[in-house]
Amino acid sequence: MSTVDDLAREPALQKRDREATRARLLEAARLRFAREGYDATSVRDIAGDAGVDATLIFRYFGSKKQLFDQATTADSPADLLAGPPEELVARMVRTVVDHDWTAYGGEHPLVAMLRSSAHEDTRLRIREEVCHTYVDALRDLAEGEDTALRAELLSAWMVGIGILRSVVATPALSEARTSDLAPHIATVATALLGRPMSGNTD
């Protein structure tokens, strides 16, 4: 027979169970979406990976689409836009190359969205994230004419680094760290932004 203390503890235990199950589903979804994209990933796949019934996805997230949105949303490292402006591009590249994205299948969440870019709303999310996180900051930093174009060219270069590392897995770039890329970061960033840029972040 349950005691008063047992009854008082039950809601807290149920809440912890719900939170743990939700966390497992998010982790499984991140891995699946990162590797296979939205269309190739089923609700049953995710639930099976998490070891729970597929109906819990709809209970906790509402739909596969809402789960995808949450699974591919990540805050940029807090120091991305902080620090010396001449190191901004190096910090951005570092989030792609050296940041620990283990919880997202080892890849920047943008890669998972790119694998699902056949969907219009996903394309809009990619454009918003790239523009607001990268392009706007680079455009404000650039000097001279055509700052928007040059900021987008530099952003395209950084996105390309992520794709070659994660999707194509080219050998040299896959093994490179930010320190290996530093002189090339400085050269490309300086040329496109029209001001001296560093390839290092320290």
User: Which tokens sit at 31?
Assistant: 């891995």
This prediction's pTM: 0.69
What does the pLDDT read at residue 40? 87
- The answer to whether 4-71 and 85-193 have equal CATH topology is no
CATH 1.10.357 at 85-193, yes or no: yes
> For residues 70 and 26, is the Cβ–Cβ distance under 8 A?
yes
Per-residue pLDDT at 7: 45
Q: What 3 state SS string does the chain have?
A: CCCHHHHHHHHHHHHHHHHHHHHHHHHHHHHHHHHHCCCCCCHHHHHHHHCCCCHHHHHHHCCHHHHHHHHCCCCCCCCCCCCCHHHHHHHHHHHHHCCCCHHHCCCCHHHHHHCCCCCHHHHHHHHHHHHHHHHHHHHHHCCCCCHHHHHHHHHHHHHHHHHHHHHHCCHHHHHCCHHHHHHHHHHHHHHHHCCCCCCCCC
- pLDDT digit string (tens) for 153-198? 999 999 889 888 877 889 999 899 999 999 999 999 999 999 999 9
CATH code for the part of the protein at 4-71: 1.10.10.60
State the average pLDDT for the chain. Answer: 84
Domain spans of the chain, in order of start: 4-71, 85-193
